[in-house]
Structure 1
Amino acid sequence: MNETVRRTTTPAGDPAWYVSNYDTVRSLLADRRLGRTHADPANASHYSKSVIFGRPEPASPTEVADHARMRRLLSPWFSARRLAALRPRVQQLVDGLLDELAAGIRPVDFHEVVSFPLPALVICELLGVPYTDREDFRRWSDEAADMEDQERSLRGLGALWQYVSGLVAVKLDDPGDDVLSALVAAHRADPDAFGLDDVAQLGAGLLFAGHETTVAAIDTGVVLLATHPQQRDALRRNPDLGEAAVEEILRAALPDPVPVRASGTTGLARWTNADVEIGGTTIPAGELVLLGLQEANDSPRLVGDSGGFDVTRHPNPHLTFGHGPHFCIGAPLARLELRVLFAALLDRFPTLRLAVPPADLQPRNESLTGGLAALPVTW
């Protein structure tokens, strides 16, 4: 049996290959022979019913150039300088949300009061999206991320794109200092290569990814700290561990006994555009490969002999944000939000704990981004 790669079945029930070895996953993340496109997407294996990362996009001769343009347009908005200027505003938002948490009747749903609003507020300010529309784009994002109901996913993504298209139309006449306005300016500079549909599609993707994934990370961090009091107390005694603690939260998964669906193998979906040899096994072009980021993040290659949740872990080269040319461009923003939030949270709520047993928490198993349906806490 090849321990590096094995055959498996996706959550959609389609055949795929699964890779979880840390070094192999890291290498494949940067391998251009794997990507999100396919020469015959209609007949390719699907990862899930979600239209977001659940199936491949049609192959395009300009995909490499399109990706490079996207990185070039967005990189300035996630630069160290830009995020340093944003940090006081993130702190202000965190303080306000924690005020709401303190004023709530216990137990309080942390997911509803803090985990969702913080990333939504931040990404709205960055993109130039009205926060008053949060319940709408939250609903559409939830629908788009549905891994089990394809019609619901299509409906949600369509509504999200239509919403962002409306915002783009406004930015054409009334631009601001925000990402959508910058994308509109890029369209004006080269309308043939970067159409308004491209602007709306990229904007919708940023709106979705900019809050959904960070919400799940915040949920996970709260559960991990609440269920590992020694680690939480170590962090409180030494706030300098804050950066390492955030990296460990990003590396780790929801702890047992939080129930997690085991239907189909989960991982980051990539399709081969050429034959790829992995551990002596040749995977033909057109096959679906699942990169097991979580299992790779838990491997002895990364954690050594000190498995489990450890806020002192350093270095911590986890693969949560990917690796190589497709490394998550929003990673610095997510890290900023998590660092500011958890530093303030432990300072103001040193006795924060779960209000229900971990086994009673309900994960969003149908959602691509995971997280929890609710997170009742007390203190």
Structure 2
Amino acid sequence: MTTQLPFPQTVPLQVPLLLRALSAQGAIHRIRTQVGDDAWLITGYDEVRQLLDDDRLGRSHPEPQTAARSGESALFGGPLGNYDTEKADHTRMRRLLQPHFTPGRIRALRNRVEALTGTLLDDLAGQAQPCDLNSALALPLPILVICELLGVPYEDRTRFRTWTQAAADIHDRTRSEQGIGELFAYGQELVARKRHTPGPDVISRLCATDGLGDDEIAMLSMALLFAGHETSVVQLGLGALLLLTHPDQWQALRGNPALIADAVEEILRAPGKGGGGIPRYAHTNIDIDGVTIKAGDLVMLDNGAANHDAAAFPDPDSFDIARRAAGHLTFGQGARYCIGAPLARMELQVAFGQLISRFPAMRLAVPIEELRMRSDVLTGGLVELPVSW
């Protein structure tokens, strides 16, 4: 019997039992995606790390209409890009975006992120308890930051958040396509505004770049808007939950703030997930552990399972902020390593550094078993995170 994604997860943060059993059997597994298509699931750390940076895999497919799909999302549920030019197109895209996410630019933004975080925590301190930490901090902070970086009006957040959530829908392709369309149209509006009144922001700088048309700028900008806040919202919520359910680690970080960088890497590594990871298509036959993946096959690179491979991370299910977890695969690997990783790391460091300092007695307000995970969107995450202090 073929195993089908997603794997049931009874408790947030814990690796699903079925995924744990599969990983114990080996690194490669025949599965079905949530829409019933055949795929390969790769769970071993070494194998996932290698294949994430393997030119024999890509996001495109020579016959996209008949390719297996990982879900109904129009963003990541099926093939993306031109099969003949994917590598060159991806290289060009990174060349255009990388200058806007250099370490220097991120350092320059840190003071502003610290100020935004402080304001949100001031507001949190005045709210009635228990309070949803997701809506108080995890959601607004990444949106505020990406708006500041791109030059997107924060007052538009309800509009574009609605569209990004629709675009990420993994069950309704029509809704996903409509969300992408609305988001792109909004990007076109922003580009027109920046052409007329440029500012010190990424969209304005892209508008000043030779060889870029307005539609391409709109597409790139909205991709950054989506990726720049959706995943950070999830990581902030899950990271807070990890710390709150491990009070010894919370207190260790409170007692030694210098551990914040290592703590963030462990927060990025530790959550157990069961959604299948990163989709790729084989562009040629690939042999792994005596198994042949045929050209055109869908391959799911489960970076979450890889992050819990005991061969790479001893005692992988323990949460230890002193662990050297910098080799985790949450941001990918190699040529497709997440451009926004430095920004995400900085946001997490600032947010948790201030949260623990300002609210040293914070605690989870409900049993962890009562928390619900989102299963309708690509990025998943907590529905809410009730806390008291």
Q: TM-score, normalised by structure 2?
A: 0.91
Aligned to 2:36: 13
Shift of 1:29: 0.3
Which of the residues 228, 231, 252 maps onto 1:234? 252
1:356 pairs with 2:374: no
Verify the 8 A CA contact 2:41 2:299 in the aligned structure 1. yes
- Looking at structure 1, the residues matched to 235 and 315 of structure 2 have their Cα atoms a distance apart, in angstroms, of 24
Q: Which amino acid aligns with 1:115?
A: A
Deviation digits for residues 187-237 of structure 1 (CA, Å, limit 9, x no counterpart): xx22xxx43222111111100000000000000011101101111111111
1:245 pairs with 2:268: no
1:301 pairs with 2:306: no
Which of the residues 164, 169, 173 maps onto 1:141? 164
Aligned to 2:293: 283
1:125 pairs with 2:148: yes
Identity %: 49
Aligned to 2:17: none
Which of the residues 185, 193, 200 maps onto 2:218? 200
Q: Which amino acid aligns with 2:221?
A: G
Task: Report SS of the residue matched to 1:351.
Answer: coil
Verify the 8 A CA contact 1:40 1:58 in the aligned structure 2. no
Which of the residues 228, 249, 253 maps onto 1:210? 228
1:33 pairs with 2:56: yes
Q: Which runs of 5+ in 1 are unaligned?
A: 255-259
- Looking at structure 2, the residues matched to 315 and 150 of structure 1 have their Cα atoms a distance apart, in angstroms, of 36
Verify the 8 A CA contact 2:270 2:317 in the aligned structure 1. no
Shift of 1:267: 1.6
Q: How many residues align?
A: 366
Deviation digits for residues 67-114 of structure 1 (CA, Å, limit 9, x no counterpart): 222222221221111111111000000000000110111111111111
- Looking at structure 2, the residues matched to 88 and 145 of structure 1 have their Cα atoms a distance apart, in angstroms, of 31
In the TM superposition, structure 1's runs of 4+ consecutive aligned residues that sit over 4 Å from their partners are: none
Aligned to 2:14: none
Q: Which amino acid aligns with 1:198?
A: E
Aligned to 1:257: none
Q: Which moved more, 1:33-42 or 1:59-68?
A: 59-68
Shift of 1:58: 4.5
Aligned to 2:238: 220
Aligned to 1:322: 332
Q: Which moved more, 1:283-292 or 1:197-206?
A: 197-206
Verify the 8 A CA contact 2:166 2:178 in the aligned structure 1. yes
- Looking at structure 1, the residues matched to 205 and 281 of structure 2 have their Cα atoms a distance apart, in angstroms, of 32
Aligned to 2:89: 66
1:108 pairs with 2:118: no
- Looking at structure 1, the residues matched to 277 and 314 of structure 2 have their Cα atoms a distance apart, in angstroms, of 22
Verify the 8 A CA contact 1:302 1:316 in the aligned structure 2. no
Q: Which moved more, 1:309-318 or 1:34-43?
A: 309-318
CA RMSD of aligned residues (A): 1.5
Shift of 1:279: 1.3
Task: Report SS of the residue matched to 1:41.
Answer: coil
Verify the 8 A CA contact 1:39 1:58 in the aligned structure 2. no
Q: TM-score, normalised by structure 1?
A: 0.93
Alpha carbons of structure 1 residues 241 and 326: separation in structure 2 relative to 1, 3 Å: same
